[in-house]
């Protein structure tokens, strides 16, 4: 896996939230990264206590999403979700910035085939609202910048006619262009995010740390190295894609020329 080099930029040393996702070619759980490792999401929830969410996708059941606006380490439901097997798991622990503590503001967010989680704070909220159609904004259940950004991405995919279609090269180009429009703003803010339909997983880094690992029929992504895997840091501004049905491996979505 090779990454394009992006312009150097200082990463803001603020924790905000923590992300983890794993895409595997056979059903598995990921209790090590979620529960058992010294820097598991459960352990990290001591610093990120304002909610947790776990989305699990399997071929037989589709999406199962559970979340609660409480500290993951103190929640029996989180421990049960952390051991649920699936072909893809996406997990998040929240340290709130925009929007109060509540289930409506707890990641991940879901709409249609897509599930989304975000790490960072978006500063250019007025610009983002202006770029997001009122109908999609009206579907937001909470008040977070994260859910608004998810609505913005859905609007871009819908305008291109690929919102309800399996991920393709068109999907890649739409997401890349939508993100680049944001980063062209002088002070947009941090957008580390994960976006998935259960078959394809996108990961983008800007403004916070992000690491990936792959091998043995699995691909992992996390805000930091959570467990005993060979992790690689993702360069700033990188958009990655991984597909479950092609022996999970990360590849970079190139910038548009």
Structure confidence at residue 225 (pLDDT): 86
Supply φ then ψ for residue 138, to 5 degrees. -65, -20
pLDDT in tens, 191-209: 999 999 999 999 999 999 9
What number of other Cβ atoms are within 10 A of residue 242's Cβ? 26
Secondary element (H or E) of residue 221:
strand 218-222
Structure confidence at residue 216 (pLDDT): 85
Single pTM value for the model: 0.93
**Residue 125: both structure tokens together:** 């909220």
In the block, residue with structure tokens 């309800």: 164
Cα 169 from Cα 95, distance rounded (Å):
34
> Any bridge partners for residue 63, and if so which?
57
CA 144 to chain centroid, in Å, comes to: 15
pLDDT > 60? residue 11: no
pLDDT per position as a tens digit, 19-74: 999 999 888 899 999 999 888 999 999 898 889 999 999 888 899 999 999 999 99
């Amino acid at each position: 896996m090779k990454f394009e080099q992006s312009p150097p930029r200082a990463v803001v040393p603020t924790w905000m939230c923590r992300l983890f996702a794993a895409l595997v070619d056979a059903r598995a759980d990921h209790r090590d990264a979620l529960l058992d490792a010294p820097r598991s999401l459960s352990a990290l929830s001591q610093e990120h206590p304002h909610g947790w969410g776990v989305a699990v996708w399997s071929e037989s059941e589709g999406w199962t999403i559970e979340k609660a606006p409480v500290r993951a380490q103190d929640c029996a439901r989180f421990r049960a979700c952390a051991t649920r097997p699936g072909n893809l798991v996406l997990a998040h622990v929240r340290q709130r910035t925009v929007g109060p503590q509540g289930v409506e503001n707890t990641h991940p967010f879901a709409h249609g085939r897509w599930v989304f989680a975000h790490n960072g704070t978006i500063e250019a909220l007025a610009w983002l609202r202006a770029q997001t159609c009122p109908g999609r904004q009206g579907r937001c259940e909470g008040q977070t910048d994260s859910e608004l950004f998810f609505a913005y991405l859905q609007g871009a995919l819908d305008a291109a006619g690929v919102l309800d279609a399996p991920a393709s090269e068109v999907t890649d180009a739409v997401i890349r262009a939508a993100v680049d429009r944001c980063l062209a703003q002088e002070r947009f803010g941090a957008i580390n995010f994960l976006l998935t339909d259960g078959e394809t997983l996108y990961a983008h880094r800007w403004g916070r740390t992000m690491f990936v690992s792959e091998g043995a029929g699995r691909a992992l992504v996390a805000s930091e190295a959570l467990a005993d895997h060979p992790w690689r840091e993702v360069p700033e501004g990188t958009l990655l894609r991984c597909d479950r049905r092609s022996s999970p491996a990360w590849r970079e979505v190139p910038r548009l020329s």
